[in-house]
Amino acid sequence: MSLQQKLTLKLTQRLALTPKMRQSLYILQLPLMELKRFLQEKMVENPLLEEAENVQEKDEPTDSEELIESILRETQQEYFDSDNDNTSYSQEIQKKQNFKESLARYVPSLQENLLQQLSLSTASSSDYKIGQFIIGNIDENGYLQCSVEEIQEILGVSKKDSLQALRLIQSFDPPGVGAQNLKDCLVIQLKQKNKQDSLSSKIVSNYLTDLEKKRYDHLARVFKVPLEKIEQAVKEISSLEPKPGRPFASSNNTYIRPDIILQKQKENYEIILNDEELPTLQVSPQYRRLLQDAKVAKDTKQYLKSQLNSAVWLIKAVAQRQSTLLKVARLLIETQKDFLDKGERYLLPLTVEQIAKAIKRDKSTVSRVLANKYMQTQFGVFALRDLLSQGIKLSKGEVISSKNVKAQIEDLIKAENPKHPLTDEKIVEILKKREILLARRTCAKYREQLKILPSSLRKRSLTN
């Protein structure tokens, strides 16, 4: 067999995220107060960025503004869509309201901590994009609120890439973060302690139910070890953190600043962007004049052009975030008006995919916009994701939301006979009579999400 060298052309597709694109994705998922802090940092880093005190409209562009546009045409490839909904956004600015509450001190959020670790890691462009999405779907307890399959579908990536990015996030601090359930959370923590083959890990992986019910004698017989060994393993398991995100949920950082303020006007709702605390950014007039000054050195001008490019990109990224957030909020309110008026039972099925199709945005973009965003209503503060729900088909072909089904399950259990609590199978039968077709394992999953014990433990806790 002879070895030959050949020159061949091969066409491949690669995902390449520029630093500016990464910044835009990062800005999309930042909550209000974290965005404020981020913009303040950028104003310190970039001398061309400053906060506008009095924004006045001008009929004609100045020479310096024309210079800015010409520089951007030469140095920047437009990333955003042309539809920024600027007219609607400028109208919303007039409706801004100020919710004044000061924090005693700044404590980084769990998401911010994870994003910082991700940026410092050696993640590829693909891992970085998937990692950002995963972090945006981790709740305050540190648990991932979507499945690997959903990550694949929304981002259009392979299962291998999804799992690779998830393992990367699960290697971050705090230990156990990114798990999808308690068992995975404890297993990850034991693995980080190099105890993946220990008795503790075997108990957590295969006998967590026996551990919860304190069947220590049964575990001793299964593993053929003395009871003392089981008790030592239980002590080790008890030292693990079941809620990895808990350290980031301190009492000093419990205030929620809603990104959206909802006010009811007769039969309709008025949507207001709560951006009063965000600095209104502009390019410094002083540095604009320097760009026009013929006496300024070439290297200095090149630096100023680079900073100008970054400054205008940041201003557009923030405007795009606000525009997309407003579009998503409008669709949520239009779809879920009955939910806001009458309660959770009237929540309609609505998914990220449906929102993305309606507002003509990518699914990953919508998911980032929904992440860690809240809405102030007359009934309290809701996470935007609370207005989403998967659909459950009825026997007649109609669709109701999964949250509606959860509410019915909760009502059934509240009304049950304490001496004869309803099993999951019995609940499924009752729901079937109501034309709701539900698998037993799905019913069990919903019950667990409602933090309701199984029937055997409910009976014990109510009769003792």
CATH superfamily of this structure's domain 110-178: RNA polymerase sigma-54 factor, core-binding domain (1.10.10.1330)
| pLDDT confidence tier of residue 347, bands split at 50, 70 and 90 | confident
Q: Taking a C-beta distance cutoff of 8 angstroms, is the pair 282, 18 a contact?
A: no
Domain ranges in the chain with CATH number 1.10.10.60: 391-463
Q: pLDDT of 208-240, one tens digit each? A: 887 877 788 888 888 888 888 888 888 888 888
Q: How far apart are CA 131 and CA 74, in angstroms?
A: 32
Burial of 382 (C-beta count, 10 Å sphere; 0-12/13-18/19+)? buried
Q: pLDDT of 94-142, one tens digit each? A: 344 333 333 334 556 788 888 888 877 777 878 888 888 888 888 888 8
| DSSP letter for each residue of 330-353 | HHHHHHTHHHHHH-GGGPPPB-HH
Q: Which long-range contacts (CB under 8 A, 24 or more apart) does 378-387 make?
A: 378/262, 378/263, 378/264, 379/340, 381/256, 381/258, 384/259, 384/260, 384/328, 384/329, 384/332, 385/145, 387/332, 387/335, 387/336, 387/339, 387/347, 387/350
Query: Among 410, 388, 397, 390, which residue's Cα sits nearest to residue 437?
Result: 397
| pLDDT confidence tier of residue 52, bands split at 50, 70 and 90 | confident
The CATH architecture that domain 391-463 belongs to is Orthogonal Bundle (1.10)
Q: Which long-range contacts (CB under 8 A, 24 or more apart) does 338-346 make?
A: 339/387, 340/262, 340/269, 340/377, 340/379, 344/403, 344/404, 344/407, 345/404, 345/407, 345/408, 346/404
Q: Taking a C-beta distance cutoff of 8 angstroms, is the pair 376, 33 a contact?
A: no
| pTM passes above 0.85 | no
Which range, of 166-175, 248-257, 438-447, averages the lowest pLDDT?
Answer: 248-257
Domain ranges in the chain with CATH number 1.10.10.1330: 110-178
